[in-house]
A and B are shown apart, each in its own frame.
Chain A
């Protein structure tokens, strides 16, 4: 266990790992085939790779890296929509930095910027609103991305724009919502997940209650987990104890950040501005019912989808790119044909290589890239 001394509290990490190794021996199913445990959130994926946690776990556990990286699940056609908006002559297109390099079918936002479009990286949707204040002659569009963690910030920004009567600010809303996504995974015939590590900061907003159906209807446990490596290990202990005892409950390991009821002010803002879409298209996972949100009619004048004619075309990933199979956990990142060859963090073909929270980028940066593996 060579990595253990990297932990802030090596003794606790070692104890948790000893518990994990002992617990899997007490779970009969794990003796037949590895337990499939999904970390839903990209932040966990990043932490797991950075600290080499997979290599410390017993062979009876297989971690499945879930779809919780908002940039990674963007279909190519959505990037094309962004570029189409940015190419309008009177538009300033604003986005989080993560989305700049995601390839569209022809170009990324970064390419569009290089070709002369006014595309700007912002840290916060409030910065985008500020640009709108400074440029009343331009239409300023913010590319809204993320799960419930960032949804309240976008909602509050729209409320602010409404309050100030700003008329040149638009949201291209691509926010996604976690619960229907987990349900789609549970309903997928391709995969069987024995238990989940739940996202920490999404839960900080939505609280514990929305997950209860996972235990009640699907009899699977979920542990809301923090991002430190020790949090991940302790959450795995809690999950394995449930599996050993034949239990399926929602537990909260991250109580220091996640209140049971979530954040009331944040949920209120989200509820005022957004409503569920009928369906939303995901890279790799296809269309998932009610998995995205859109702007409510009362705030329609801020909706970029109403203001701009979007191509809105479904574009399949390039054949060589296997992001979809990696997202579903069907193959490991390094098993993709182009991993580490045509597709690297410098020249990403697929979104999973773009974001540091993407499994491919994380594996490329921290995993042991063995050329024999690549040559297979």
Chain B
């Protein structure tokens, strides 16, 4: 929850809603971009950038090297798998476990 996870912004889904698509280690997920909004309002400059994602919100822009290092350390801490599982397994209530 607090360490966050790096991902690459691959598309702007809806500039009005400040929503983008982020690829986190192969898992694609919609993420809110309000906290990394470009000052000039041109959302497309974010496509291709790496970002640190906390609970579905892009909280800062980082460089690719930092992203890779962070992914490695999260894997070593055992947090990477946990975070990816949480991202994909939000319980929609369809199946009761």
Interface residues of A, Cβ cutoff 8 Å to B: 8, 41-43, 46-47, 50, 68, 70, 92, 96-98, 118, 120-127, 131, 134, 145-147, 149-150, 152-153, 156, 160, 199, 201, 204-205, 227-228, 256-257, 263, 265-266, 269, 356-357
Contacts and interface: CB of A to CB of B under 8 A. Distances in A.
**Majority SS of interface residues in chain B?**
mixed
B56 A125 contact: yes
A125 to B, nearest CB: 7
Given A146-B1, A227-B3, A265-B37, A153 B91 contact: no
Given A43-B3, A120-B91, A125-B55, A257 B77 contact: no
Interface string B1-12: 111100000000
B44 interface: no
A327 B77 CA distance: 22
23 contacts: A8-B69, A41-B2, A46-B79, A47-B73, A92-B93, A96-B86, A97-B86, A98-B1, A124-B57, A124-B90, A125-B56, A126-B30, A126-B56, A146-B1, A149-B59, A153-B54, A227-B73, A256-B66, A265-B35, A266-B59, A269-B34, A356-B78, A357-B2
Contact of B76 (A43, A50, A118, A152): A50
Contacts, number: 117
B27 to A, nearest CB: 10
Contacts of B86: 96-97, 121, 123
B59 A47 contact: no
Task: State the 10 A-B residue pairs at the shortest beta-carbon distance, nearest first.
Answer: A124-B56, A120-B91, A153-B57, A127-B90, A123-B86, A266-B35, A124-B55, A265-B35, A123-B90, A121-B91
A20 B61 CA distance: 32
B87 A123 contact: yes
B66 to A, nearest CB: 6
Most B CB contacts (10 A, CB to CB) among A41, A50, A124 go to A124
Contacts of B63: 256
Most B CB contacts (10 A, CB to CB) among A68, A123, A146 go to A123
A126 B19 CA distance: 11
B57 A152 contact: yes
B2 A121 contact: no
Nearest to A126: B56
A42 B1 CA distance: 11
Contacts of A153: 32, 54-57
Chain B: interface residue count, which band? 35 or more
B56 A123 contact: yes
Given A121-B86, A122-B91, A150-B55, A96 B34 contact: no
A146 B59 contact: no
Contacts of B62: 256-257
Contacts of A266: 35, 59
A332 B32 CA distance: 40
Contacts of B2: 41-43, 68, 70, 146-147, 149-150, 199, 201, 357
Contacts of B56: 123-127, 153
A98 B3 CA distance: 13
Contact of A149 (B37, B54, B77, B93): B54
B69 A123 contact: no
Contacts of B82: 356
Contacts of B55: 96, 123-125, 150, 153
Contact of A131 (B72, B77, B92): B92
Contacts of A96: 1, 55, 86
B79 A356 contact: yes
Contact of B93 (A47, A131, A205, A263): A131
Interface in B13-57: 17, 30, 32, 34-37, 52, 54-57
A150 B35 CA distance: 12
Contacts of A118: 93
Contacts of A160: 17
Most A CB contacts (10 A, CB to CB) among B2, B3, B37, B78 go to B2
